[in-house]
């Protein structure tokens, strides 16, 4: 009696190459700016066609992990934030194998921010915490963020602690807030002198501006953030349906 064996689909060769290079990048063995092996080199090492090796590099490029420059080769791309999932900056950086850091530039309580209070569904004369931070990863500037939230609802904010931990984490652990979604407005603006200096870009360089209202699971607005991000270190993927 003939035995029937169950077969399993094999992983395509280009996927194996892609996964191997991605692992080297995420482990830090390949760093931003490092050269990635050429199509011919990959084809020879893995015993595949040039088309297969090219496909693997193309997929890595689409994922924002490498940059391909005609005539000079393929290089590990600077790390980018992908705005497709609601996670903290620290979580985003950790997923790319980077260490997130925050430099607190300003932390104060103020009033008369009527427009922002309205966005947070608060009374016009509400006292608001204004937190301005330079967001960094591995010592490199990624974004300049100004975050507002209610001083009455969140009175235990301390400057030093916010340089060592995520604001997400503080809200979740100290106040029991579960975040659900965010409404965001995204556009491009020119960096003014201060933003350019902090983000280490030329004055007038295009930066990504995001205005975000972050909501808890019960639908309450918790924070309003106005942020400027280096456009070369961020990407926004939009899926459209018909």
Question: Could you read off the pLDDT of 6-50 as tens digits, one per residue?
Answer: 444 577 888 999 999 988 887 778 887 889 999 999 999 999 999
Beta-strand ranges (E) seen in the chain are: 35-36, 66-69, 73-76, 81-82, 100-110, 128-137, 140-150, 179-190, 206-216, 221-230, 234-235
Question: Could you read off the pLDDT of 145-182 as tens digits, one per residue?
Answer: 999 999 999 988 776 577 777 788 888 888 899 888 88
- pLDDT of 221 over the 90 cut: yes
The pTM of this model reads 0.66
Question: Could you read off the pLDDT of 70-97 as tens digits, one per residue?
Answer: 888 899 887 666 555 676 677 777 666 6
Task: Give the Å distances, CA to CA, from 8 to 3, 18, 56.
Answer: 16, 20, 22
CA dist 46 and 63 (Å) reads 21
Reported CATH class of domain 81-235: alpha beta
Domain spans in the chain, listed from the N-terminal domain onward: 13-76, 81-235
Q: Closest by alpha carbon to 200, among 155, 135, 156, 147? A: 135
For residue 115, report the phi and psi dihedrals to the nearest 5 degrees: -65, -40
What is the CATH architecture assignment of 13-76? Orthogonal Bundle (1.10)
Burial of 60 (0-12, 13-18, 19+ CB in 10 A): buried
Domains 13-76 and 81-235 fall in the same CATH topology: no
Q: Chain-wide mean pLDDT for the chain?
A: 84
């Amino acid at each position: 009696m003939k035995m029937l064996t169950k077969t399993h689909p094999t992983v395509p060769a280009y996927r194996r190459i892609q996964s191997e290079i991605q692992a080297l990048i995420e482990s830090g063995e390949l760093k931003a700016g490092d050269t990635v092996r050429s199509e011919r080199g990959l084809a020879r090492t893995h015993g595949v066609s040039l088309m297969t090796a090219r496909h693997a590099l193309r997929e890595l490029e689409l994922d924002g992990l490498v940059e391909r420059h005609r005539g000079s080769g393929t290089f590990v791309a600077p790390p980018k934030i992908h705005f497709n999932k609601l996670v903290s900056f620290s979580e985003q950086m950790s997923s790319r194998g980077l260490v997130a850091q925050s430099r607190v530039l300003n932390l104060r309580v103020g009033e008369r921010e009527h427009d922002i209070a309205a966005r947070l569904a608060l009374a016009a004369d509400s006292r608001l915490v204004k937190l301005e931070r330079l967001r960094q990863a591995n010592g490199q500037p990624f974004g300049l963020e100004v975050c507002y939230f209610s001083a009455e609802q969140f009175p235990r904010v301390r400057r030093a602690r916010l340089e060592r931990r995520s604001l997400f984490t503080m809200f979740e652990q100290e106040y029991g807030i579960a975040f659900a979604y965010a409404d965001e407005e995204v556009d491009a603006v020119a960096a003014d002198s201060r933003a350019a200096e902090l983000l280490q870009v030329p004055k007038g360089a295009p930066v990504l501006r995001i205005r975000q209202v972050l909501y808890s699971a019960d639908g309450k607005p918790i924070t309003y953030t106005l942020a400027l991000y280096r456009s070369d270190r961020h990407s926004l993927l939009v899926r459209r349906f018909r």
